[in-house]
Chains A and B, each alone.
Chain A
Amino acid sequence: MLKIEGVYKTFNPGSANEVRALRGVSVTINPGDFVCVLGTNGSGKSTMLNAVAGAFPIDRGQITLHNTDLTKMPEHKRARYIGRVFQNPFSGTAPDMSIAENIALAARRGMKRGLSSALSVKKRAQFTEPVRQLNMDLEGRLDNPIGKLSGGQRQALTLLMATWIKPQLLLLDEHTAALDPKTAARVIELTKQIVEKDRLTTLMVTHSMQQAVNLGNRILMLHNGKIAYDLKESDKKHIRVNDLLALFDEIRRKDQMDESVAQMIKKQYI
């Protein structure tokens, strides 16, 4: 169970480009939940995931995962519990290293790395089958540098690597946004398979409402660094793309109202 409680994060505080990216986010994700995170650009989706992953310290609040307090834990220690796939296909793999070496790195996610051989014959043999199941013709190219692969192939591998050791939490940040539609569909299909097979607790940021409708059992909608809507199991089941669009419109309307209210106040007081 992931518990995010009253989390605040401001970037560049006190400077001209101060951004209040998270403004009191609280949410509890149950084990086995597959949550789609929606929200306009800059609403704080990535920041929320990065706060959980520990990319930066948060200003206020608490993050716990299965009773382990993550709030002060450095990023590399949280990796024991958390698997991640990034939006940028270049972020999740080491380009100059071979597919096999990359997998070997992932096969020890969060574990001690010692002086035993990273690529023993026995270990290598275990890599082939899961890679074959990606259906991307990569099983024969384990010794090729990952940098030579397409974005879709790299994202598929990153997904495989993030879940090589079953994580207590899987964080996917628009991991198909940089791919062409056909490849994106393949990677989404793969995501579904992997998440469902092990019933992984998953937070998936997406900009595709269709994906949010089709996948998972819960939708979080972020706005201005807060959770605007939280659609759980029963609500989520019946939701359609149009309903989501309506919610977005509502958010926008509220925003405009805020804007006009703000202007009114300005007129009166300044």
Chain B
Amino acid sequence: MSILIGSITVGLILALLALGVFITFKIFHFPDLTTEGSVTFGAAIAAALIIKGYSPALATLIAFFGGCLAGLVTGILHAVFKLNGLLSGILVMTALYSVNLHVMGKSNIPLLSEPTVISHFERYAAAGEEVNILGWLVPQKDLFILGFILLFTALTGTLLNAFFKTNLGVAMRAAGNNAQMIRALGANTKAYMIFCIALSNGLIALSGSLLAQFQGFADVQMGIGMVVWGLASVIIGEALINTKSVGFLIFGAVMGSVLFRLLVAIALQWGMNPNDLKLITAVFVFIALILPGLLTRLENRKKLKKLEYAED
């Protein structure tokens, strides 16, 4: 049960990353590799500031803006200097690797004995107290942490949804959907795209900073495979929800992240080799990406057959 709670908590933390990937990948059809660097960047900033004695909340906020800055650079490389989208992400991701090492000063910063936003909420729980959920005994502090993360992610999702329904937000969605149209209606699509890539990476860095504080360390390698992880969450969410409404898609991305984390936890319990995790995730995303196309082709073939019979 404790593993379950832990998985849901990590799923909800990574849901912020999924929301970031949702913005770039679903709204702008832009597979942004900056993600791999900005997850770690967020973790690195938060960890470095916390061990220097800054308040964890402030450190987390600065991590968010750090991510925004990374995204800003990618956005400018892509929209202003017209570099290929993947290449822009790769360049910034690579540069961030060095930046992260500088920020951290070493490749790993342990946070277990430091105050973090997580430990802050832990304190509200009675130490050692356990709660009975359906016959399972769960440490009260785990539930408090889960509750905090749940609230935080729900709030972020709600704000994001509200934003994408404002005049500005709707125009940004249109910029991803049909740039020519919204430019003809007076929107600066380049600026919109840069803003969205920055916001996306801010959320991703925020996710990284919370993950570091939850797991008790920041590591320079922790971003590896995170793009595919985010894509998997978004894709699962889309399949679950099956609509184009932004609100539901945002909800779907959050649910997708939690579900995916749970699936992974279960697979690991069943004895899946953790080394295979990224391979399996990649294969999963590949299948999920080509499946819709395959299904429509199959369906069309069926329809065609019916047509031929009808003519006989």
Contacts and interface: CB of A to CB of B under 8 A. Distances in A.
Interface of A: 53, 74-77, 79-80, 82, 84, 86, 90-97, 101-102, 104-106, 108-111, 113-119, 145, 161-162
B72 to A, nearest CB: 20
Interface of B: 163, 165-171, 173-174, 177-178, 180-189, 244
Contacts of B167: 104, 108, 113-118
Given A113-B168, A114-B168, A115-B167, A80 B186 contact: yes
Given A76-B189, A113-B187, A118 B166 contact: yes
A107 to B, nearest CB: 9
A117 B178 contact: no
A262 to B, nearest CB: 38
Contact of A91 (B166, B174, B180, B187): B180
B166 A116 contact: yes
Given A76-B186, A84-B184, A93 B168 contact: no
A95 B180 CA distance: 12
B244 A96 contact: yes
Given A79-B184, A92-B181, 7 more contacts: A79-B186, A80-B186, A96-B173, A105-B181, A111-B186, A113-B166, A119-B170
A116 B170 CA distance: 11
A102 B163 CA distance: 17
Contact of B166 (A74, A76, A82, A114): A114
Q: Which 5 A-B pairs have the closest CB atoms?
A: A79-B186, A110-B186, A94-B177, A118-B170, A113-B167
A89 to B, nearest CB: 11
25 contacts: A76-B186, A79-B183, A79-B185, A79-B187, A91-B180, A94-B177, A95-B178, A97-B170, A97-B177, A101-B174, A104-B170, A105-B171, A105-B185, A110-B185, A113-B187, A114-B167, A116-B166, A117-B165, A117-B166, A117-B167, A118-B165, A118-B166, A118-B170, A119-B165, A145-B244
Nearest to B188: A76
A108 B163 CA distance: 17
Contacts of B177: 94-97
